[in-house]
Amino acid sequence: MKKPRSFSKASSHRVSKSRKVPVKQQLKKKSVKPNSVTNYYFKKNKAVERKQIEPEETRFILFNKPYQVLSQFSASDDKKTLANFIDIPEVYPAGRLDFDSEGLLILTNNGRLQHRIAHPDQKFAKTYAVQVEGVPTETQLKELQNGVRLKDGLTKPAKVKIMENQNPFPERVPPIRFRKNVTETWIQISIAEGRNRQVRRMTAAVGLPTLRLIRTSVGHFQLDQLQPGEFKEVIPEGL
């Protein structure tokens, strides 16, 4: 009678390592959600991004994201999402805008354009109108312009100035917190990076806490007269 075949720990490890992992498990492990914008194929059991296939018709949406709206379509508790405002299928945000920030958010169904706008390596400038607490000094403005030391490193040089119009937007709903005897100032900041909550962290680091933040442009695309919650479809010229 033949003895049952035994496996060493080493050979057992080799067998389990070479076992094919189902596609769904790989996607879940990598937090990858396949959609019409980005596709993936699998090579040697690893998810690899497929060359972007442009859609038959490119949709390019400029949206004025209101305060306290998530930059996503999927539901999250009782918070408002893009689905509350936009009913165009198969478009996705090119980048993000924080829940408590407002202003221009671009959406598209074109993966190449999405990458062109959102990826930090593309150096796509984004401009913000920022209401800060206090009156910036020349020293503080220079710090913001030259780069601010944050926990994740020094920021790249930015374009910063005090805005001529100190009442550029209607009052927010709900309004910002009111503090008696504290002056607020609107400044304009243009950056080409995409760190998490970067502008807010920059102003806080130089002693100018952000009270309100509105993105006014992404590259040459402008917020213009779009009201909060409104969107329009445009031709993506210049990309």
Structure tokens at 49: 């991004």
Contacts of 5 (CB under 8 A, 6+ apart): none
Strands (E), the chain: 40-43, 46-49, 60-65, 92-93, 102-108, 126-133, 149-150, 153-154, 159-162, 184-191, 210-218, 221-222, 231-233
Q: What backbone phi and psi angles, to 5 degrees, belong to 170?
A: -60, 160
Question: Catalytic residue numbers?
Answer: 98
Listed residue (198, 65, 62, 70) closest to 130, CA to CA: 198
